[in-house]
Structure 1
């Protein structure tokens, strides 16, 4: 019996029973329609070649040689299967899953076959031999269904069936689905984003490329993935702005695939002051331009946004933690040995030059162990 269930007015237990019926249908080799945060999908168990063939028939989809995308219940399951070799790729999964993104993992035939085997997918279910598609829906119904299924689920967008729109089920769409043999239709109303997922390619070299924008645009992706580093001193006119300039230069030399934003602030700065002339000259000798810098005061917002915070002294570290105690696991004195970087203010140019050289060495040390 083919069933369509509107989940909106059901109790939690009634909703779970409907989801379990859909999971039972999946395990019997049948297809179901279920919601995600982007569009509704048609899903089957991807381990069974007969079910994969059924999905192709229902959706008329042979996109790039694969029947659909593997829909995983959570990011941890994906990371165990993919075993990302690059920090940037691990960060992508950590920051974007679950969410409205389709990940395209690239590799040679052997690498893709190993991932496919760890997932338990049939060949061609979610890959074409060199690229494997993955989704981790940020939708409670989808997540519960994927867990209840007890086997890897692949899905493609409902719109590929031709039964109707795939961001909200209509009576015509439901009739088309049940008429085509869909065993269970789970209807939870209009999808949250009402748009296709954004597609991101994970390159074999460790980088990424946005292949198509969907529910979130490229700028939003970069914002979520970007690493933010904050340097803190007293007035934000010499030590921390020099550290900011040096760090930006070192990151360019490292060719780090993770987008990184570097900022600096002063624990006692009112903001708006220019850099000290000696700091400008010391940076100029390193080929770095500090002339446009304007000081900013340390704030709770800056601390909250930072992934890692480097303080010039123990006193500056205490100032950070006084504003935001929860930053203790990501705020450190810049020197790994815990020694302070003294303030060169009021001293001759040579002191600024020595400070700049020390900052460069300390930042280079820290960046060797920079975490995703």
Structure 2
């Protein structure tokens, strides 16, 4: 194992030449970046890639990213990018980002892209002068994966890297402590809106500023349905309990979260006793429910917001207009024909039988919309690159 102390801002010609020789010979190098130290090999050398995965103790279903010399080289040689994507690339790179794009090349693709039909690859662009010169002279991309054994903590110093790998590395370039242990922010710009797969050195709000006016979202792993009524003590808690029960019998049970809230200020307390009783007769337990008021935080975390009556729909659209696309009315959503009364009636002040009629109406409407919820969930899974556990 060779070791060199370097200044990444002032490339040393001899060290640069020796690093090139090691890469061309199929060796593994440790090199500094503007975040963590990386492990680099020639990505067109299959034996070097195989050795990298063995040394890092990484499985083939955990692809590594690639480091290239410049945005221009990336677009010209290695990735497919339309004008919109190119404009965003120039805003993000070089920087603390790994950007997901469609790859132009097929060689050794399994090491960089998850799934046999997936040709998307993560790319970084060198920011440090040493890396820029190295990659220009080398011609090929090199791997860009953190210099730690899979599952072990990110290493701040080369001493920590050596402690993890021992003598299994070929050349180490020591530029001092790593500047940022959180790693790069990974963003998929093949999605619309763009999707942050991992929030690293640069957070969501900062990314929004950098790429404005383009939209970007953060990857989610749960689909959230929120029912809304007035006081959150009758209609919406019953709807929440009924939908939870329906989903408990589906393959999506671990993917979907169902909740509820009310439009009235400072609403609190348990569900109405009649609502609890009627729900129990339907095999649903809402005895532990505690009422709450709808908030911006609840709206933002929700993927589908379902109002029980027209006044709830109007409230949601007027108070949260930027989220109007995910707001619907229970009785009219995806209904192909007109309906006389689009609202679920408020049972407050009525007897137990009226509560039963309301609960049955809610249950029937939820049954009606289930196929459309399934469609939404499948699109959500596709967008967020999720799969169900077998």
Alignment match, 2:75: none
Matched, 1:327 2:323: yes
**Between Structure 1 and Structure 2, how many residues are aligned?**
283
Matched, 1:49 2:46: yes
TM-score computed with the length of structure 2 as normaliser? 0.54
Secondary structure, aligned partner of 2:299? helix
For CA contacts below 8 A with separation 6 or more, give which structure has more relative contact order.
1
Aligned CA RMSD, in angstroms, stands at: 5.3
Contact 2:223 2:255 in 1 (8 A): yes
Correspondences of 1:74-93 after superposition (within 5 Å):
none
Q: Aligned match of 1:253 in 246, 249, 253?
A: 249
Secondary structure, aligned partner of 1:340? coil
Alignment match, 1:182: 171
Cα deviation, 1:288-307, whole Å, max 9, x if unaligned, reads 12222221112222212222
Q: Aligned match of 1:33 in 30, 35, 45?
A: 30
Secondary structure, aligned partner of 1:310? strand
Q: Which one has the bigger helix percentage?
A: 1
Alignment match, 1:318: 314
Q: CA deviation at 1:241?
A: 0.5
Question: CA–CA distance in 2 between the matches of 1:284 and 1:172?
Answer: 58
Q: Aligned match of 2:346 in 343, 348, 351?
A: 343
Q: Aligned match of 2:272 in 276, 294, 302?
A: 276
Cα deviation, 1:191-216, whole Å, max 9, x if unaligned, reads 4249xxxxxxxxxxxxxxxxxxxxxx
Residues 65, 180 of structure 1: CA spacing in aligned structure 2 closer, same or farther, 3 A cutoff? Answer: closer
Structure 1 segments unaligned to the other structure (5+ residues): 74-79, 81-97, 100-115, 195-222
Q: Aligned match of 1:121 in 108, 132, 142?
A: 108
Residues 23, 296 of structure 1: CA spacing in aligned structure 2 closer, same or farther, 3 A cutoff? Answer: farther
Q: CA deviation at 1:284?
A: 1.2
TM-score computed with the length of structure 1 as normaliser? 0.57
Residues 22, 319 of structure 1: CA spacing in aligned structure 2 closer, same or farther, 3 A cutoff? Answer: farther
Cα deviation, 1:121-166, whole Å, max 9, x if unaligned, reads 177x579x99x9x996999969x98x99997754665356xxxx96
Question: CA–CA distance in 1 between the matches of 2:295 and 2:154?
Answer: 44
Alignment match, 1:71: 65
Alignment match, 2:355: 352
Q: CA deviation at 1:264?
A: 0.9
Alignment match, 1:239: 235
Matched, 1:61 2:61: no
Q: CA deviation at 1:182?
A: 3.5
Q: CA deviation at 1:275?
A: 1.9
Alignment match, 2:187: none
Alignment match, 1:361: 364
Contact 1:311 1:331 in 2 (8 A): yes
Question: CA–CA distance in 2 between the matches of 1:237 and 1:172?
Answer: 56
Structure 2 segments unaligned to the other structure (5+ residues): 68-78, 80-96, 184-218, 381-390
Contact 1:48 1:122 in 2 (8 A): no
